[in-house]
Amino acid sequence: MACPEQRPTGPTGTTPPPPGPPDADAGDGRSAAGPALSGGAATALTTDVLVIGGGIIGLTVAWRAAGQGLSVVVADPEPGGGAARVAAGMLAAVTELHYGEEALLELNLRSARAWSQFAGELSQAAGTGTGYRPCGTLAVALDSDDRAQLRELHTLHQRNGLTSQWLTGRECRRAEPMLAPGVRGGLRVDGDHQVDPRRVTDALLVACGRAGVAIHRASSRRLTLRADRVTGAELSDGTVVSAGTTVVACGSRSGDLPGLPEAARPPVRPVKGQVVRLRVPASRAPFLSRTVRAVVRGSAVYLVPRADGELVIGATSEEQGWDTTVTAGGVYELLRDAHELVPGLTELPLTETCAGLRPGTPDNAPLLGPSVVPGLHLATGHYRNGVLLAPATGEALAQSLTTGTLPAYAAPFGPERFATGAAPVDHPRAESRAADDLTGARR
Ligand SMILES: Cc1cc2nc3c(=O)[nH]c(=O)nc-3n(C[C@H](O)[C@H](O)[C@H](O)COP(=O)(O)OP(=O)(O)OC[C@H]3O[C@@H](n4cnc5c(N)ncnc54)[C@H](O)[C@@H]3O)c2cc1C
């Protein structure tokens, strides 16, 4: 690894310009992403760390690595984009618990606990908010089958020492008066909060810029190798970045990256999710005071109310390859199920429909830290919890990039578990499906 104090340099040896003042953040906040390097001018860069992919995970890793004194370049044609522009932002370590995912539960809980401080640090570093809202979650049941499933989830919580409280239908409606009269009962989970992922990635771009991270708006054309070591990447604009360590953080595209040595190729696949956004007028606020979710006819649906009046309804879960088409069927099912839960929402203005790709893995867990190929780390495969897991991922990668090893809590998620020739992962697929039934097929 190159010396930590080395900053990214261009062919003329110039360091990136200092980050701009807060008021340089124009429009969507993404244009003022600190020292953005664009195509053409630069042809060679040297850096401690090259992060390929500037979604919520890549930017968090870059920001935390820069905080350790490492020089960092991020390469992404659309930094601050990716699945986080679509995600609801639930920090749902408890309500998202699935059978067979107990190891992941520990990581999820750790990251959920870290969110409050992470949001505070990020807001301070960027001078903008993250929409972090410690509002809790209410999971409700509309019929006796749903109620039986929720009871099972409650039992699973108790078995894992998690805090959730069973409420009668009447108690649910007292907590959330907009709920349908037919609600049969529910689980109150006061520890599952939310954040606004769009505001988080916008803030990360600014914070990265201020920390000296160089954002290069180009994609990785291919990784470069010397002997068996990854030495950086050649970008789509011809720039060659030489890096002590290269981090692949391309979300659902991570397994596709040209030049990836086969032994380190992550088994990541795209899992499509469609989302609908409504707006609660001030005259109807507060419409909901916390995240409300349910399983309706076997499919999960959730409503996430933001402090600014946005109401996010999600999400489908579809194995459709790279397709991100918003379909009439997807939107219809989401609105139909959400309407059963909260009938009054049909009067709210519909502001947006969108679809994104979750980076799914065979065991639903991320791949973190050093790969089996020297010079190459991974931070990918966060599937349905990439927003929740951003703080823990940033912390784990900051350690692996400075010391070469993951902290103990992240060690079970090392990429070597999927390396070619590795022993098969003990993944309880059937149990996981059963768990999907428990918490619904969506999300
Ligand atoms: C509908 C939906 C709802 C969700 N809800 C939640 C939720 O409530 N809570 C939660 O915790 N998570 C949620 N998620 C999951 C979460 O959004 C993802 O896990 C997370 O955004 C993944 O982040 P990432 O940075 O790894 O990947 P991505 O967001 O996919 O970002 C990858 C980046 O890599 C870039 N890239 C790709 N190829 C290249 C290349 N060759 N060179 C350079 N750059 C490249 C892309 O441009 C992109 O910016 C949801 C996801 C969806 C789709």
Pair (289, 154) in one structural domain: yes
Ligand 1 centroid, distance to 270 Cα (angstroms): 10
Distances (CA, A) of 239 to 70, 75, 211: 20, 10, 22
Give per-residue burial for 3-21: e unless 16+ CB within 10 Å, then b. Answer: eeebbbbbeeeeebeebbe
Beta strands in 326-398 (DSSP E): 350-360, 367-370, 376-380
The pLDDT mean for the chain works out to 87
Find the mean pLDDT for residues 350-372.
97
> What percent of the chain stands above pLDDT 70?
85
Q: How confident is the model at residue 430 (pLDDT cuts 50, 70, 90)?
A: very low
Q: Give φ, ψ of 360 to 5 degrees.
A: -85, 150
pLDDT higher than 70, residue 4: no
| The last residue of a domain, from among 335, 360, 385 | 360
Ligand 1, atom nearest to 250 Cα: 34
Q: Of the ranges 13-27, 70-84, 284-298, 390-404, which one carries the lowest mean pLDDT score?
A: 13-27
pLDDT higher than 90, residue 408: yes
Pair (281, 408) in one structural domain: no
- CA–chain centroid gap for 342, Å, is 27
Pair (104, 201) in one structural domain: yes
- CA–chain centroid gap for 176, Å, is 28
Pair (95, 179) in one structural domain: no
Mind listing the pLDDT tens digit for each residue in 98-107?
888 878 999 9
Pair (39, 84) in one structural domain: yes
CA-nearest residue for atom 35, ligand 1, is 53
Pair (114, 232) in one structural domain: yes
| The last residue of a domain, from among 360, 392, 413 | 360
Pair (151, 86) in one structural domain: no
pLDDT higher than 60, residue 117: yes
Ligand 1 centroid, distance to 296 Cα (angstroms): 26
CA-nearest residue for atom 3, ligand 1, is 87
Ligand 1, atom nearest to 221 Cα: 41
Q: Give φ, ψ of 334 to 5 degrees.
A: -65, -45
Mind listing the pLDDT tens digit for each residue in 118-171?
999 999 999 999 999 999 999 999 999 889 989 999 999 999 999 999 999 999
Q: How confident is the model at residue 11 (pLDDT cuts 50, 70, 90)?
A: very low
117's tokens? 């401080």
How many structural domains is the chain composed of? Answer: 2
Determine the longest span between alpha carbons in the chain, in angstroms: 69
Residue 96 parent element (H or E): none
Pair (74, 42) in one structural domain: yes
Structural domain including 215 reads 1-133+194-267+363-443
Torsion region of 417: left, alpha or beta (phi above 0 gives left; psi -120 to 50 gives alpha)? alpha
Ligand 1, atom nearest to 379 Cα: 26
Pair (420, 317) in one structural domain: no
Q: Return the CATH number at 244.
A: 3.50.50.60
pLDDT higher than 90, residue 17: no
pLDDT number for residue 422: 52
The answer to whether the beta carbons of residues 183 and 170 sit under 8 Å apart is no
pLDDT number for residue 116: 98
pLDDT higher than 80, residue 385: yes
Q: Of the ranges 15-19, 229-233, 263-267, 396-400, which one carries the lowest mean pLDDT score?
A: 15-19
CA-nearest residue for atom 26, ligand 1, is 251
Q: Return the CATH number at 151.
A: 3.30.9.10
Pair (171, 262) in one structural domain: no
14's tokens? 């110039």
